Structure 1
Amino acid sequence: MRVRVEWRISLALTGTVLKYLSIPLLVPLAVALIYREEIFTFSLTILFALIAGHALEKLSSETELRMREAMLFVAITWLAVAIVGAVPYLIAGVGTESSLAHPVNALFESMSGFTTTGATVMDEISYERHSHAILLWRQLTQWLGGMGIIVLMVAILPELAMNGAQLVQSEAPGPQLQKLTPRIAETARILWFVYIGFTLLYVIILSTLHFTGYAPEMTAFNAIAHAFTTLPTGGFSPEANSIAAFSPAVQWVAIPFMIIAGTNFALFWYILRGEGNLLFRNPEFRTYITAIGTFSALLAGMLYFGAAPSLSELGGTTAGAMENSLRQSAFQITSLLTSTGYATSDFVAWDGSGKLVLLFAMFVGGSAGSTGGGIKVVRWLVSLKFLRREIFAAVHPDAIRPIRLGGTVVDEEVVRSILGFTFMYLFVFVFATLVIALDASRIGYSLTPLEAFSASLATIGNIGPGFGSIGPFGSYLAFPDSSKIVMIFLMWIGRLELFPVLVLLTRSYWRS
């Protein structure tokens, strides 16, 4: 049987995306000029992106995609963008002892950036070790990946807008695409408009805190850098101590913006149109806010009564300190539940009960249509309603009881796809945990079951930090290259919600 996928069209359009990637690469190039750093790194990367993109475009002049070609285009584009994004790390690392000079490490850092995972293999994060340009590129990759590279391209490129619905559906986080306008390209522009608006607002607030004396460490560079990684729920920071490097005022301000980032952005468009009542009528949003509030209150109580006795260095003691207990709990829960990955304290030092609460939060994920990772709140809602219906059916086998969300009946095909995704997600996560643990054992690398478990969960869920050596102030550098490749794959499929990548590994996709 012949190959049934017109892969040349997909690769040609990937080339178009790579050519346009040269535009955001001008930002770190400008930063290098401002700080009088070498410009060769990003000049050469821009040239590489243009040449590679032009070469791929030569493969086909067609632009119309069927579903198969669309899935291939989305999957390959994210991999190709991560490869190009790794080039600055490799060039900057030549002749240095930087961990990013290694190709696998550079690709890990780049994939972690574009997928907004926030896991790092940097051995040291500092302005002395890395240029401002490299550190800002690291932040910018997360901002580009947050709302979605394909969504951005659909918004600005006519040749992709004609295939927009299936492209955005393949990339967008969540079980369904919510069209805000009849034209998908216009919807994509609206989502990016809201995303950019919140980013600018966050920069303004952080800068205001700096100028009013509430955040002396929050320079203009830091304000922009952290806005680039808060709204995409990314978690990268140019500061080694993440948000713990800043004042409590900055930490309190970051919490609502992380909540915003984990909310379906379509809801904010309705607010701008004067339909704000839709926000609190949305069952997923209500459950999302309830989960954050419940987990935060539970953890705050634990911290207040001594669950984190080792916080004296980072974050101060929480035992008996109500404000600090509330701030630390609300920040860590919001950060991990939304898959942002920022930290204000080293929760590796917390006792087992505190870690268990964080672990549950990591499984929840943000809302569909947000920049958050994980399984997503709406999938948990539908899955729980499905289980309740099955229990009811066991007692009333003849009853017909549809699943409803906010008064709307959920189509049975959607229910089936949600259950299928959830099962596949958990299966891949558990299987990857075993692979990572066995790989560590193969080379004699000491890895606890909790560390292997959290490494798999943190990468497929695009969360970033885990437990043990990969805690909020640790890194993934010590893992063998083979495990890092597995985790690169997990970040890739986790950001694209598994199926657009996994389907490429089946024979039926290519030949049936």
Structure 2
Amino acid sequence: MSVRVNWRQSVAFTGTVIKYLSVAMLVPLGISLLYREDIVVFLLSIGISVVVGLSLERIDDDPELGAREALLLVALAWGAVALIGAIPYVVAGYGTESALRHPINALFESMSGFTTTGATVTAEISFEQHSRALLMWRQLTQWLGGMGIIVLMVAILPEAAVNGAQLIESEAPGPELQKLTPKIAETARLLWLFYLGFTVLYVGILLGLHYAGMAPNMDAYNAVAHAFTTLPTGGFSPQADSIAAFSPAVQWVVIPFMLIAGMNFALFYLLVQDEYVEFLRDRELQAYLGANAGLVVVLWGFLVTGSAPPLELGGITQGAIENSLRQATFQIASLLNSTGYATSDFAQWGTTAQGLLLFAMFIGGSAGSTGGGVKVVRWLVVIKAIRRQLFTTAHPSAIKPVRLGGHVVDEEVISAIYGFTLLYLLTFGVATVILLLDAGRVGLEMTTLEAISASLATIGNIGPGFGFLGPFGSYLDFPATSKLLMIFLMWIGRLEIIPVFVMFTGAFWNE
């Protein structure tokens, strides 16, 4: 059979994405000029990005992409931006003791950034070891990847808007694309405007706390840096102690914005249209907020009774009612939607509390959000489909459609959700076994729980795990082979597996 995919078109458009990535590097370049550090690093990185992008663009000049070319473009683009994004880490680390001087470590950090995973191989995060410009680039990669690089391209480039629906559907998290306006480019712009608006609002509130004396160390740099990683549910922080480095007031402010980041951004269009009732009636939103509230109550019970007391971090009194509630609310909001921030080292909590957090990691954010994981709407459909199966087993002649929010779910959608969920869990399980075997090969001591959390944290784009992978730990000790596997897991997890795995089938490439 003849190959039917025009890969040249996908590669050429990938060059366009890389070319425009150099524009984003102007942000850390400006910071490097301000602080007079790593200027050459970003000048060189911008130059490489422009040259590579322009070279790839010359391969093909046809803007029309078919369905398979669009899938290939999305997969290639996300892999390419991670490779280009790793260049500043390697260049800045050259001749130093930084772990990021090694290309695999740099690629791990870059892929973790763009996929908003938040897993890190940086054992020590400080301004003494890394420049402010490099750390801001680390933060910015998550903000770019949160709403989606391809969605941004569709929003600003006319040539991308031609194939916008196919491109966004391949990249956007969730089982289906929700168009807000007849033109897909307008939808992309609206989504990015909501995203940008919440980012600006968040920075303003954090700075307000700083100038009010309620957050002494939340200066402008930290406010922008954390806004870049809260709205995309990323979790990177220029502070070694993550959000635990800041006051309780800051921690309480972070929580609602993490919850917002895990909501379907298309719902905010309902608020703009004054359709408040429809917003509140959204079944996935209700389930998402309900899951957060229910798990918080259970975890708070564990913490306040002392069965899993949080560590004393940031001068917070251990065992206090407010502290326990804040710890429970923060950790659930952070892990359920895959943000990965921490205010306490939950790797030191009891097994009951850790089990609850592990369960929260499986849920994920909403479809159309920046959150990772399986997604709430998929679990809702799976549960309803299982209930229907039990009902029709008892009543074979009954015809019972699956309904969600008063609407009948198409059988093809149910089948696709079943397929995705099974493939997700299967990939997660196989990766867990491989990580355990690879750790044994090199003599790395790792428990089964740590391997499970490593696999789940990377494919679910969550970040921290348990044991030495806790919120204040790192993935540095893993062998290079395991890091490559987890880089792959982060990549396919962000693109929700199918767009990547389909490329490994003969049906994708042949007529």
TM-score tier, shorter chain, comes to over 0.9
2:305 equivalent in structure 1: 305
- Structure 1 distance, partners of 2:47, 2:171, is 27
Is the contact between residue 315 and residue 345 of structure 1 (CA under 8 Å) also seen in structure 2?
Answer: no
Q: Secondary structure at the match of 2:60?
A: coil
CA drift of 1:312 comes to 2.4
1:494 equivalent in structure 2: 493
Q: Secondary structure at the match of 2:461?
A: coil
Aligned: 1:289 with 2:284: no
Distance 1:449 1:336, change over 3 A: same
2:105 equivalent in structure 1: 105
- Structure 2 distance, partners of 1:505, 1:109, is 25
1:438 equivalent in structure 2: 437
How many residues matched? 511
1:211 equivalent in structure 2: 211
- Structure 2 distance, partners of 1:247, 1:490, is 34
1:64 equivalent in structure 2: 64
CA drift of 1:377 comes to 0.2
1:231 equivalent in structure 2: 231
* Aligned partner letter, 2:28: P
- Structure 2 distance, partners of 1:414, 1:140, is 34
- Structure 2 distance, partners of 1:312, 1:224, is 27
- Structure 2 distance, partners of 1:452, 1:231, is 28
2:251 equivalent in structure 1: 251
Aligned: 1:124 with 2:124: yes
- Structure 2 distance, partners of 1:38, 1:486, is 30
Aligned 1:6-85 pairs, distance under 5 A: 6-85=6-85
Aligned: 1:403 with 2:402: yes
Aligned: 1:376 with 2:375: yes
- Structure 2 distance, partners of 1:445, 1:428, is 22
Is the contact between residue 119 and residue 464 of structure 2 (CA under 8 Å) also seen in structure 1?
Answer: yes
Aligned: 1:169 with 2:169: yes
Alignment RMSD: 0.9
Is the contact between residue 78 and residue 491 of structure 2 (CA under 8 Å) also seen in structure 1?
Answer: yes
Is the contact between residue 262 and residue 337 of structure 2 (CA under 8 Å) also seen in structure 1?
Answer: yes
Q: For each residue in 1:105-127, what CA deviation from the matched residue of structure 2 results, as whole angstroms up to 9, or x when unmatched? A: 00000000000000000021000
2:467 equivalent in structure 1: 468
Is the contact between residue 12 and residue 58 of structure 1 (CA under 8 Å) also seen in structure 2?
Answer: yes
CA drift of 1:280 comes to 1.2
Q: Secondary structure at the match of 2:121?
A: coil
Which structure 2 segments of 5+ residues have no match?
none
Aligned 1:273-352 pairs, distance under 5 A: 273-309=273-309, 311-313=311-313, 316-319=316-319, 321-352=320-351
Is the contact between residue 337 and residue 364 of structure 1 (CA under 8 Å) also seen in structure 2?
Answer: yes
- Structure 1 distance, partners of 2:153, 2:317, is 47
Aligned: 1:425 with 2:424: yes
1:137 equivalent in structure 2: 137
Counting aligned pairs with the same residue, the percent is 64
- Structure 2 distance, partners of 1:126, 1:307, is 33
* Aligned partner letter, 1:153: M
CA drift of 1:313 comes to 4.0
CA drift of 1:38 comes to 3.0
* Aligned partner letter, 2:387: R
CA drift of 1:495 comes to 0.2
Q: For each residue in 1:43-63, what CA deviation from the matched residue of structure 2 results, as whole angstroms up to 9, or x when unmatched? A: 011100110001101110111
- Structure 1 distance, partners of 2:261, 2:279, is 14
Which structure 1 segments of 5+ residues have no match?
none
* Aligned partner letter, 2:373: G
CA drift of 1:318 comes to 4.2
Is the contact between residue 304 and residue 318 of structure 1 (CA under 8 Å) also seen in structure 2?
Answer: no
- Structure 1 distance, partners of 2:207, 2:170, is 37
> Relative to structure 2, which stretch is displaced further, 448-457 or 265-274?
265-274
